Every structure is written in structure tokens, then in C-alpha cells.
Chain A
Amino acid sequence: MASRDNAALMKREREQSLISKPRAAATVTPPADIYETDDAYVLMLDIPGATKESISLNMDRSTLTIRGTVDSTRDEHAKVLHHEIRGGTYERVFNLTDGIDRDSVEAHYSDGVLTIKLLKKEEVKPRTIQIR
């Protein structure tokens, strides 16, 4: 039941082009993993080089937004020989389901990975019905 619900829920990421606010071309979209258990959804995002304080996490009625800036490792005095890691602004928006208990969201950042745990509301958790 719950797994069917979520297809329409968090799985869909809002199209960036639908957001009217103009944004810098250099915005990075961090890769994400999401899994579901009986009582929660867990999101993981790779944000190497960030700090706990620099990540902003916002939840409104229907979306969860993760945004921040990673300091560029660029140094004006250094000669760049190879450059693949882009610093700068990153952002990712996820749509939320009604089945989430909005008052019990936990987030922590360690080893460059942001993990967000969204607990489900009691009424959407699977339950076993006893046969009398």
C-alpha cells in the first residue's frame, strides 16, 4: 500500500525549469538515494566539502528543499592542472507526501553525506489486523 502511494509522492523531483526564480547556471544537483521502510522515508545526498552549518533545509507544505554553497577549493595563487570538482551552489527539491509526520524530521551530516529521515504518520504505516 505504502509503496504505491509514494510513487506519486517523493519520487518525483520538481523540474528545475518550473521554478520561476532565475538561477545561476552553475547550480549543482547533488546525487540522491531514497529508500522506504515501514515507518519512514530516508533520503541521502552526496554533498562533499560542506559543513553542517552551511546546509539549509526547508520544508513547506509540499516540498523539501536542500540548498547551500560549498566553498570552492580554488586558490588564486595556485595553478589549476585538473579541475573536475565544482564548488558553488547546490540545490535539490523533493515533493512530499501527506503521509509524513512533519514534526519529526531528523537530519544529520557526516562524511560528506546528508541523511534526512522523514517519519510516516501513524495512519499510513502498514499494520497487521488481527482476526478474531
Chain B
Amino acid sequence: MFVQVRHSPAMNTLWKEIADFEREVDRIFSNFFSREAVTDEGYAPAINVVEKDNEFVVVAEMPGVRKEDVKLSLENDVLTISGTRKQNGVPENARWLRNEIQRGDFTRSIALPTGVKVDGITAELQNGLLHILLPKADEVKPREIKIN
């Protein structure tokens, strides 16, 4: 007897999810461990990440980027900073003598540590630095225990 094996729609979804997951993992690793990792999504801005008692702070370099040109998104505990650095105010007849500044699309993803209070995330762009504050959920904050 010949049995034709056909994936059920549920199986197809599962395979797709596994493939998506693998891609996502590759992307996170390549972005996290190497800034030079080239992606289709452009250059990767430099970042600092620190942990404080009550929050995590991510700082990303964004010189020449306007607030309206940056997007922050959060999906499956991965925070993604993406956007475009535009060329502003350069006249059409300009002749370039030196070009070291990266422009165009950029993207950077950061795997968030556990225990971030997602609703409380705030961000501010100032003097070319994007500061993202990620408050910790109460259960992961260090606390002092009083001795009675």
C-alpha cells in the first residue's frame, strides 16, 4: 500500500516556525557578537548595555539621525533598533572630498535579559545618542532582607 505523506497545515506552520526561529537566532548572534556582520538591513550602530539595580540601560550611537527616522520594536524578547540616517542639507553641486560617515539604513538587535518590564520601556534621543531604559520587573530586582 502506498501512503502519501502530506504535512498537515499545522505541521507546515510548525516547520515554518522552526525555520523562522533559526533565522532569528542566526540574526541575533551575528548582530550581537559582531558589529561588522553585514545584513541586508544596513549598518549596525555601536551600543553599550549596562545593568543597574532597577533597570537595564542600552545606549546606541545615532549621530545625524532624526527622531522620526528611528524605530524601536520588541518581539519575542528581542529589541530591535532600526531606521535610516539621511543625508540632509547637502547641495546638489557638492563635490565630495572625503566620505567616512555611514549613512542609509541601519539595524541592531539585542536579546533582552529575562525580567524586563516591557510596558515600562522608555527611550530618548539626544545629541546623537539613543538611550533606552528597560526597567526590571519587581521579582528580579535585588532586595535586602531585614534580619529580625
Contact = CB atoms under 8 A, between A and B. Distances in A.
Interface stretch (B1-9, B11-19, B62-70): B62-70
Given A78-B52, A79-B50, A111 B63 contact: yes
B146 interface: no
Interface string B33-61: 00100000000001111111100110101
Given A111-B63, A111-B128, A73 B48 contact: yes
Contact of B59 (A51, A73, A77): A73
Contacts of A38: 93
Given A49-B128, A85-B47, A112 B52 contact: no
Nearest to A6: B97
**Chain B contact patch, size range:** 35 or more
A33 B63 contact: no
Interface stretch (A16-24, A40-48, A61-69, A99-107): A40-48
Interface string A23-59: 0000000011111111001101011111100000000
B53 A77 contact: yes
Contact of B96 (A35, A46, A84): A35
A77 B47 contact: no
Highest count of chain B CB atoms <10 Å: which of A33, A42, A49: A33
Interface string B73-96: 000000000000000001101111
B97 A112 contact: no
A81 B95 contact: no
B135 to A, nearest CB: 14
A80 B110 CA distance: 14
A46 B49 contact: no
A74 B57 CA distance: 11
Given A77-B52, A112-B128, A113-B63, A36 B47 contact: no
A31 B53 CA distance: 35
26 contacts: A11-B97, A31-B100, A31-B102, A33-B101, A34-B97, A35-B96, A36-B97, A46-B64, A46-B101, A46-B128, A49-B129, A50-B127, A50-B128, A73-B48, A78-B52, A79-B50, A79-B51, A82-B32, A82-B48, A84-B48, A85-B46, A111-B63, A111-B65, A111-B127, A112-B64, A113-B128
